[in-house]
Amino acid sequence: MSDQVTYDEVEVGTELAAVSYPATRLSLVKYCGASGDFNVIHWNERIAKSVGLPDVIAHGMFTMAQAGRFVTDWAGPKATVVEYGVRFSSPVVVPDDDTGATISVSGQVEEKLDGNRVALALTARAADTKVLTRARAVVRLP
């Protein structure tokens, strides 16, 4: 896991390098089971296409979880997430092959707040399209 980052060492404007996370059909099936969200558009190509989607799409919450992991890996084990929000701007289309889709997450230190809190602005892309907008997390650091 990552090293522990501390509030004092964080600087506003620091860019957090992009990390790529895979999303395959298997990921979505596992996420259906673990989350209890069995909406057919996440596992049934026939129905996904019949309701006008290009293919099976990832759960928005799966994508949000990847960006959440980006935050907690950066912040370190002793940090806690105080606030985390996103808007799902575009679906992550997951083709039926061995590679699936790739979600690339990057970020920037947006603001240092009182109480050892730090706000991060996040960006997530898949196939060169922004899949999350207004993505922001506030973490409390040691």
Partner 1 sequence: MAINPDFVGKTFSPSEPYEVSRVKLAEFADAIGDPNPVYRDRAAAQEAGFADVIAPPTFPIVISMASSSRALAEPGLNLNYAMVVHGEQRFEYSRPLRAGDVVTAQVTISDIRDVGRNSMMTTTTQISTVEGEHVCTAYSTLVERGGAS
Tell me which residues touch partner 1 (CB under 8 A): 1, 21-22, 27, 30-31, 33-37, 39-41, 47, 51-52, 57, 59-62, 64-66, 68-69, 71-73, 77-78, 80-88, 91, 134, 137
Nearest approach in angstroms of CB 49 to partner 1 is 12
- Residue number with CB closer to partner 1 (10 or 61): 61
Nearest approach in angstroms of CB 82 to partner 1 is 6
Q: What's the token pair of residue 28?
A: 């979505």
- Running DSSP on this structure, what letter comes out for residue 15? E
Across the strands, what pairs with 70? none
- Residue number with CB closer to partner 1 (5 or 41): 41
Dihedral angle at the C-alpha atoms of 35, 49, 123, 125, nearest 10 degrees? Answer: 120
- Residue number with CB closer to partner 1 (3 or 11): 3
Nearest approach in angstroms of CB 1 to partner 1 is 6
Q: What's the token pair of residue 8?
A: 């004092």
Q: What's the token pair of residue 3?
A: 């090293």
8 Å CB contact between 86 and 105: no
Nearest approach in angstroms of CB 39 to partner 1 is 7
- Running DSSP on this structure, what letter comes out for residue 4? P
